[in-house]
Each structure stands twice: as C-alpha cells, then as structure tokens.
Amino acid sequence: MGNLISKIGNILFKKRMKRVLEVNSKSIDFNYTNGDRKLFTDDQHRHWDNIKENYFVLSKKILLKVVLPQTGSHKGWITSRVELHVSQSLMRILYLVEEFCHASENFNSVAVAALVKSISEIPLHLGYIVWVLSENHDFEKIRTELRKISFGNINPKSGLTGSLKITQRELYERSDQMMRKFFKDQPGFDIFESLYKDSNAIGHHNYEARMLTGIQNGDTWKAGDRKELFVFFSNNIFQIFMYCDAALSMSKILLSAIDHYLSHLPENFTSFGG
C-alpha cells in the first residue's frame, strides 16, 4: 500500500508541475501591436524569436525532483548536486525571463534593465559548473568548488546570505575560459565578462540606469515618454534584448557541456585525483 501511495503521489506531482510550466510558458511572448512592432529594428525581432525558442528548450531541461544521495559513488553524488543547481538555476532564469517579457510589453525600461542584470548572472554559475567538471579531477576538490556556488556567507544579524564565497569576476573568468576552450578556432571576446558588466551598468542605480527615466539637454533634465525612451534605448544604446538572448543562448551551450562532462565522470575518483 505504501508503494502504491508513493506512486500516486509522484504522478500527481508530475502533473501539477507540468501544468505550472505550461501556464508559465504562455506568458513568453512580445505582444506588441503591429504598429509598435514596426518601431523596433529587425535585430530586435530576431532576438524576440530566439528568446522564445530558447525558453522552451531550457524549460525541458528542468528536473521536477532531485534526490541527493549521502552515500554511493562519486559520480552519483556529483551528478545529483549538479542537477539540483541546474534545475534551480533554470527555473529562476525562466521566471525572470517571463517578467522581462511583461516589462518589455509595458515599455518599462527600468524594470527590464534590472531583470537583465539578474538574468545575466545565472549563466555565470552554469559556466562555473562546466569549469569545475572540466578542470578538476579529484572528488574532494569538485565538492569544495561546488559548495562555493551552493552556499554563501551568512550574515549573523539577519541569518541570510551576506556575501558569496566566490567573486563574480571569478565566475565570468572561468566561464569565458571554457568558451575559449570550446571554440579555439573562432576569434572572439570574453562574452560572459562583457554580458555581466554591460547588464550591470544599466541594472544598478547609477548614471546609465537613471538615463532610462528621461533626457538631459544641457543644464535641463526632463522626464521622457516611457515608450519613446524604451524604443530609443533598446534600438540604439542598451541592447537589452540581445543581453537576454545571449544569456539564454549561452545557458543552452553550457548545459550541453555539463551533460557531456557528467556522462564522462568515473564512478569513483582515485585517491590520486585520477
């Protein structure tokens, strides 16, 4: 009877989570009027299509349940912890992208900029996981590195995370290191560093972010029309749709790399890091 109840519970859980994801997926669109769509460049239209496509691809990578074994093989322990981090990260980035779409439809430049800042941080964690699996060949070393992105330093006053155990710089440098490894024959730039720094420039409360509220001409500042500002900045200065597109596209590439390295893990590492 206990096994039957457990099976029924699992079926109901899967149906419930599937329904949640289906409901959320309907909100991924850029429902501008035909007139408003013409205000944006062809590049923005291409980014809209990519964002929607990658949203659905990434949503299928989410595990609805992850069991964390405390004993067993090294491969099983590492795989379960990576799957947990990946599923949580994907759910977070997809929730953020949904709100990114809503804010974009409302021409809310300030909200979109803040959301892009949060969205751009998540691929850095995925890239770091790739580096951990690719460049470390000792179980204890891998476990130590994974803990850096799993738990932060607790603020004793609030009981909440006060700081990370790893810097954002290390996250984007390790991620870019992996991209250079994968695409040796393709000259490029440090895409994760650029994505992180550019999105932070408009996501923090600084000069670029305040520009999103109006225009200063000489000694006079005037609040701007939200639609005009959104269209102007997204087409000409702050490539907000490109940032979102890049974050999702890079996440997809990194997930493929994670799957590759997990499949090639030994069941158990030797004491010599082999």
Other Cβ atoms closer than 10 A to 266 = 12
The answer to whether residue 200 sits within a structural domain is yes
Rounded CA separation 185/167 (Å): 29
C-alpha to C-alpha distance for 273 and 240, rounded to whole angstroms:
43
For the ranges 114-123, 160-169, 264-273, the maximum mean pLDDT occurs at 114-123
Q: Does residue 188 or residue 132 have the better pLDDT?
A: 132
Is residue 24 in a domain?
A: no
Q: DSSP 3-state assignment of 161? A: strand
75-90 as b/e: b if 16+ CB within 10 A: bbbbbbbbbbbbbbbb
Residue type, 141: K
* Angstrom distance (rounded) from CA 138 to CA 157: 36
In a domain, 244, yes or no: yes
Whether residue 125 lies inside any domain: the answer is yes
Task: Tell whether 18 is covered by a domain.
Answer: no
* Dihedral sign for Cα atoms in the order 262, 244, 118, 30: negative
- Rounded mean pLDDT, 65-78: 93
pTM higher than 0.75: yes
Contact 116, 104 (CB under 8 A): no
- The token pair at 237 is 């200065």
Range of the domain at 45: 41-151+164-263
* 13 domain-assigned: no
Q: Which pair of tokens denotes residue 146?
A: 């994974």
- pLDDT for res 106: 95
Instruction: Please state, in angstroms and rounded to a whole number, the distance separating the CA atoms of residues 204 and 110.
Output: 10
Gap between the Cα atoms of 24 and 48, Å rounded? 17
Please report which confidence band the pLDDT of residue 9 belongs to, taking 50, 70 and 90 as the band edges: low
- Per-residue model confidence (pLDDT) at position 25: 59
Instruction: Give a yes or no: residue 143 inside a domain.
Output: yes
- How many domains does one find in the chain? 1
**Considering the domain boundaries, does residue 3 fall inside one?**
no
- CB atoms under 10 Å from CB of 11, counted, come to 10
